[in-house]
Chains A and B, each alone.
Chain A
Amino acid sequence: MISTSTDIKPFDVGAIRKEFPVLERKVKGKDLVYFDNAATAQKPQVVIDALVNYYHQYNANIHRGIHSLAEEATAAFEATRDTVKEFINARYREEIIFTRGVTEGVNLVAATYGRQNIKEGDEIIISGMEHHSNIVPWQMLCLEKKAKLKIIPVDDNGELMMSEFQKLISPKTKLVSIVHASNSLGTINPVKEIIDIAHQYNIVVLVDGAQSSVHLDIDVQDMDCDFFVLSSHKIYGPTGVGVLYGKKELLEEMPPYMGGGEMIKEVTFDKTTYNELPYKFEAGTPNIADTVAFKAALDFVNEVGKDNIRKHEEMLTKYAMDKLLKIDGVRLIGTAKHKTSVVSFIVEGMHPQDMGILLDNYGIAVRTGHHCCQPLMNRFEIPGTVRASFAMYNTKEEVDELVKGVEKAIKLLK
């Protein structure tokens, strides 16, 4: 429907930047330097076009209408499901459930699989570097079921202490929910190893792919995770769309999450039979427009090539870490061997928020604070960090701007 008219091979950051209209804008009179990609990535023109085109040309409710617009909308919506299936290499298209995002995906599993399978005294294992969205739903479930939450500790480099993981497993352990790549440190966790170990004890594993999906090649079959969640907006797609992948046999056994339209087969006042997968978990009119446009984002990423993106981001990450470390007083938080393009740091004696306010005035968008990872910040005994996270459109020159900004901010704050 929309042609992706990008001519950006071999990797040409200048050409890529032209695809992202927002990068042309000024902030406080300066060229925008957008380094908050781990919070949300900017959108290429093809995604914006796909979104607008949907509303211009074929807005209709999906799956039930028999008119042409409904058919076109349904086809576009379902095409995204197929693209997601390929993107994460799922076995079946019905294993792809659309959600509002990672948070909803985790909550869905906790409220359905969790409620059905976690009993009093059972144990759930998460890690010390989880985002609040992969802590709170399990805490709520544990509270309800009188189950126990156990935490894999994190070492000084920001890596999981895998030897401790083994020790945490007990016959009571029923589920492991683990972040693939940390949003605040960038650490890439050895999820395959975790899954292998867990499966030896018949423990189900959910992998939080919020940060990993945009950087790493995702193969849920090879990984052998039971559940995998991701968000569109971190992969250059629209906000408000996410994906829950689940192994078909698990999804089939799970009770529905929400009741309503779309998820039913037959409703009488006595009894309702539920629709089949994936619709059983997609009650109500979904976020059609954003889901449709999400496909354009995935196509775009595929076209640029994750390998190319990764190489570019790795170069930027290394460059930024080297340069920042040369500044007196800078301490990097999260120095794992395997990292996504996240550089988290603090400056001795300075509050991350002060740094963030001043950097904003230099036109540099970074994230400051605890990054929704308060337990992790407590572990490092810091109130938060300054986090720069890089995407395919960022440049070395922008990193230079950040370094200059940090130096100037330090002078002001001293």
Chain B
Amino acid sequence: MSRYLDMTIQRVIIKFKSKYFERGMNVVQTIQETEDEIAEEFALFDNWEDKYEYIIDLGKKLQPLDSKFKVEENKIKGCQSQVWLVADESDGRIYFKADSDAVIVRGLVSMLIRVLSGHTSQEILDAKLEFIDKIGMKNHLAQTRSNGLLSMVKQMKNYALAYKMKEQLNG
């Protein structure tokens, strides 16, 4: 239970940080730092059930995507579950919102957003996303999982690439 409390505190800290960021104070942490942070959180779990319970919890807490965004063009079709992804750009940073009809995928999606959202296109393109392997969730990105997650990571990077090219053209 105390472990759970720990997680909650961690999340409060994260929320606090993102609030700072919203106020324009430049304390946003790097992608690598967030990746490390997630890896540390998962290191606390000593069995898979706790790990999944946490991911399911993240999935449930992820702000649902407004139904107007849940359209075909935002859909990343998996064989079994669907993922919807939208991207926005402001002040040179890209913000992602996403949703899925399966809760474990939602949890994983929520972590990807936490790691990548609010960063510059170059940072997103450079992101290694090694935390997925570190927390033992790499199999969910495998082709066989067919959950659209792998396509979602690609799509996030595609958005970053598109914005980068746009910047270069405009710049």
Contacts and interface: CB of A to CB of B under 8 A. Distances in A.
Interface in A357-374: 357-358, 361, 368-370
A306 interface: no
A383 interface: yes
A361 B52 contact: yes
Given A352-B80, A369-B80, A412 B147 contact: no
Interface in A71-130: none
A238 interface: no
A383 B101 contact: yes
B81 interface: yes
B79 interface: yes
A24 interface: no
Interface string B92-103: 000000000111
B80 A368 contact: yes
Given A353-B81, A353-B147, A384-B80, A412 B102 contact: no
Contacts, number: 43
Contacts of B101: 351, 383
Interface residues of B, number: 16
Nearest to B59: A354
A352 B78 CA distance: 13
A360 B64 CA distance: 27
Given A357-B104, A413-B103, A351 B81 contact: yes
Interface in A304-341: none
Given A28-B48, A361-B48, A383-B101, A353 B80 contact: yes
A136 B105 CA distance: 30
A412 B59 CA distance: 12
A353 B80 CA distance: 7
The secondary-structure label for the interface of chain B is: helix
A354 B107 CA distance: 11
B52 A358 contact: yes
A356 B52 CA distance: 13
Contacts of A361: 48-49, 52
A368 B146 CA distance: 11
A370 B105 CA distance: 17
B56 interface: yes
A28 B47 CA distance: 11
Contact of B56 (A356, A384, A413): A413
* Residue in A350, A383, A384, A412 whose Cβ sees the most chain B Cβ within 10 Å: A412
Contacts of A357: 52, 104, 140
Interface string B21-41: 000000000000000000000
Contact of A412 (B52, B79, B81): B52
B53 interface: yes
Interface string B49-71: 10011001000000000000000
Contacts of A354: 56, 102-104
Contacts of A408: 49
A350 B104 CA distance: 10
Nearest to A356: B80
Given A351-B101, A383-B101, A412 B80 contact: no
B102 A351 contact: yes
Nearest to A357: B104
* Residue in A28, A350, A354, A356 whose Cβ sees the most chain B Cβ within 10 Å: A354
Nearest to A368: B80
Nearest to A361: B48
Contacts of B80: 352-353, 356, 368-370, 383-384
6 smallest CB-CB distances across A and B, nearest first, come from A351-B102, A369-B80, A353-B80, A353-B102, A353-B81, A354-B104
30 contacts: A28-B48, A350-B103, A351-B101, A351-B102, A351-B103, A353-B80, A353-B102, A353-B105, A354-B56, A354-B102, A354-B103, A354-B104, A357-B52, A357-B104, A357-B140, A358-B104, A361-B48, A361-B49, A368-B80, A369-B79, A369-B80, A383-B80, A383-B81, A383-B101, A384-B80, A408-B49, A412-B52, A412-B56, A413-B56, A413-B103
Interface of B: 48-49, 52-53, 56, 79-81, 101-105, 140, 146-147
Given A354-B56, A358-B52, A361-B49, 20 more contacts: A351-B81, A351-B101, A352-B80, A353-B80, A353-B81, A353-B105, A353-B147, A354-B103, A356-B80, A357-B52, A357-B104, A358-B104, A368-B80, A369-B146, A370-B79, A383-B80, A383-B81, A412-B49, A412-B56, A413-B56
